[in-house]
Amino acid sequence: MPRRDSLVHHHSDDMLIQEKKQKGIVDIKPQPVCRHVHISERTKTDGTPYIKGWCEKCKAWVYTEKRYCICCRKYVKHKSHFLRLKKILNIAMEEHYQAIQEYKLIPHRSNVYVEIAYDSRIIHIPLKHLALYTEKVRPTDMLPEIQDAIRIVKVK
Tell me the per-residue pLDDT of 56-65, one tens digit each, with 9 for 90 and over: 888 888 888 7
- Spatial separation of the C-alpha atoms in residues 130 and 127, rounded to whole Å: 5
Judge if 70 and 108 occupy the same domain.
Answer: no
Give 107-112's long-range contacts (Cβ < 8 A, gap of 24+).
Answer: 107/131
Instruction: Report yes or no on 112 lying in a domain.
Output: yes
127 pLDDT band, cuts 50/70/90, is: very high
**Which residues constitute the domain of residue 67?**
33-79
If you average pLDDT over residues 25-35, what whole number do you get?
A: 58
Instruction: Report yes or no on 19 lying in a domain.
Output: no
pLDDT tens per residue, range 45-103: 777 777 788 888 888 888 887 788 887 888 887 777 788 999 999 999 999 999 999 99
Map residue 138 onto helix, strand or coil. coil
pLDDT at 7: 47
Judge if 67 and 125 occupy the same domain.
Answer: no
If you average pLDDT over residues 25-53, what whole number do you get?
A: 68
pLDDT at 75: 82
Model pTM score: 0.55
